[in-house]
């Protein structure tokens, strides 16, 4: 499974949206339950799914779907 697919699955479970509704434009602006409360849950869930640990610099950059994919790709290819 690609990074995007796995990430969409996490998003879907966390925010209660269909995987098909998630794309590179997805952000707190267009996903209703993506608020600051859930943002922390999201980061934890991504760490648990990919079994990695983000640095603080990475966490503060993870503002929307596209950026998260970018950061994840860089991290996993390290």
Footprint of another protein on this chain (CB under 8 A)? Answer: 10, 13-14, 16, 37, 40-41, 44-45, 48-49, 54-56, 59-60
* Closest to another protein by CB, 24 or 48: 48
Contacts of 62 (CB under 8 A, 6+ apart): 43, 54, 68, 71
DSSP E strands, 1-78: none
Measured from the CB of residue 14, what is the shortest distance to another protein in angstroms? 6
Measured from the CB of residue 4, what is the shortest distance to another protein in angstroms? 16
CA–CA dist 1, 42 (Å, integer): 19
CB of 62 closer than 8 Å to CB of 43? yes
Measured from the CB of residue 44, what is the shortest distance to another protein in angstroms? 5
């Amino acid at each position: 499974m690609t990074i995007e697919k796995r990430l969409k699955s996490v998003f879907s479970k966390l925010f209660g949206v269909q995987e098909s509704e998630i794309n590179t434009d997805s952000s707190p602006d267009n996903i209703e339950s993506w608020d600051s409360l859930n943002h922390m849950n999201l980061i934890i869930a991504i760490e648990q799914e990919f079994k990695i640990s983000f640095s603080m610099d990475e966490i503060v950059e993870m503002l929307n779907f596209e950026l998260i994919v970018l950061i994840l790709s860089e991290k996993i290819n390290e």
